[in-house]
Structure 1
Amino acid sequence: MYYFAGYLLKGFLSLFGRIKMYQKENIPSSGGYVIACTHTGWVDILWLGVSLLPIKIHYMAKKELFENRLLRWLMNSLHAFPVDRENPGPSTIKIPRKLLKEGEVVGIFPSGTRTSEEVPLKRGAVTIASTAKVPLIPVAYVGPNNFSELFKRIKPKIIYGEPIYAANELPKKERLEKMAADLNEALETLQHQLKKSNG
């Protein structure tokens, strides 16, 4: 189901313009890792998944998306798993850790909300990557965010940053703070690179 939906989406989105990808060599060739991507609309979720095919992304999604029967089926088919953002429990870490241990890829949108404004990054991506001892890959997207912008044929672009690793020599609190700061800086830099790129 994942591949069927993924390649179908790729064909559909390509009707509005092909995505330009930069620095894809930063994606690890093996093993699990966490992808932390900027989030300004629902289209970036689709393009991120399509850009990494045939690699599958297990998205961390808000639990409300699983309350509707049809949406729950779709979320499960796309390998998403629910998270209670208001009251995160042990499963918030347990599920992605298990996936990462199995060599899977976990996708998280650190802002937790669709916004073009700068917001403090939530600690989820950092905590999960650090706890699971896997690299954290910062990713930025610039392009259409909704149907109207798709029809305007705004060119989509995505860029992959260098892997960020936890500084294990530091105490836990400082380690997470440093990793969060590195992620924040990387996403800002990547977004700036995309906005000034002409390709």
Structure 2
Amino acid sequence: MYNFASTLLFYLAKLFRLLSVKGKENIPRDERYIITCSHKGWVDVIMLALSIYPTPVYYMAKKELFNTKIKEKFFRSINAFPVNRENPGPSALKIPLQLLKQNKCVGIFPSGTRTNEEVSLKRGAVTIAIKSNAPLIPAAYKGATNFKEIIGGRRSSIILGKPLNFEEKKQVLGKDELIEYALKTLETEIKKLEENLQ
């Protein structure tokens, strides 16, 4: 279902000029990566996927979205996989690490929740990037946050930043220091990208 839905939405967005994308040249070619973005509403989940179309994105999503068989079937059909945000544990890393080994793109919203407020980023995205040695692509979104705004023709913008890689820092920093450094770097880059969208 993901391929059909993403193709349809991509051409609709293109036809009605609903999405502009900057920085697409920063996306690694023929290489696995993790893409992260500021999270304002459900629309940015779709727009982020369209920004790197035709590459499919496998999204980490809160387990509460999978609480019925119908919902679980739907979300898995669009490449989402569940994670326990309250008690992530080692199992939360297993699926994204397996996907990255298969050279697939993993999407994570590091704020962990949809918000317009400034919140601290969670460690998941940088931890997975460090463990997998996969580049981390920061991104920022501005635009529609609901269906009504899309129908009203509100245009959206996404800016993709340069890949972040922490291999060199692994040699000089301890585990906790490395995660904190990576988290701060990602946070800084996303803020810069958000400022560029203002």
Q: Tell me which interval the TM-score lies in, with the shorter structure as reference length.
A: over 0.9
Q: Counterpart in 2 of 1:45? A: 45
Rounded Cα–Cα distance in structure 2 between residues aligned with 1:156 and 1:76: 26
Q: Counterpart in 1 of 2:126? A: 126
Rounded Cα–Cα distance in structure 1 between residues aligned with 2:137 and 2:80: 18
1:20/1:156 contact within 8 Å kept = yes
Q: What is the number of equivalent residue pairs in this alignment? A: 195
- Segment of structure 1 superposing worse, 74-83 or 117-126: 74-83
Q: Which amino acid aligns with 1:51?
A: S
The SS at the match of 2:82 is: strand
Q: Counterpart in 2 of 1:31? A: 31
Q: Counterpart in 1 of 2:196? A: 193
1:16/1:151 contact within 8 Å kept = no
Q: Counterpart in 1 of 2:180? A: 177
Q: Which amino acid aligns with 1:168?
A: K
Rounded Cα–Cα distance in structure 2 between residues aligned with 1:151 and 1:35: 27
1:16/1:150 contact within 8 Å kept = no
Q: Which amino acid aligns with 1:144?
A: A
1:138-197 deviation digits (Å, cap 9, x = unpaired): 0111000002221332221001001111121211111111110110000000011011xx
Correspondence 1:1-199 to 2 at 5 A: 1-14=1-14, 17-166=17-166, 167-169=169-171, 170-195=173-198
TM-score, normalisation: structure 2:
0.93
2:49/2:56 contact within 8 Å kept = yes
Rounded Cα–Cα distance in structure 2 between residues aligned with 1:90 and 1:178: 21
Which structure 2 segments of 5+ residues have no match? none
Q: CA RMSD in A?
A: 1.3
Query: How far has the Cα of 1:14 moved from its partner?
Result: 4.6
Tell me which stretches of 4 or more aligned residues in structure 1 moved more than 6 Å. Answer: none
Classify 1:109/1:117 alpha carbon distance in 2 versus 1 (closer, same or farther; 3 Å). Answer: same
TM-score, normalisation: structure 1:
0.93
Rounded Cα–Cα distance in structure 1 between residues aligned with 2:33 and 2:13: 26
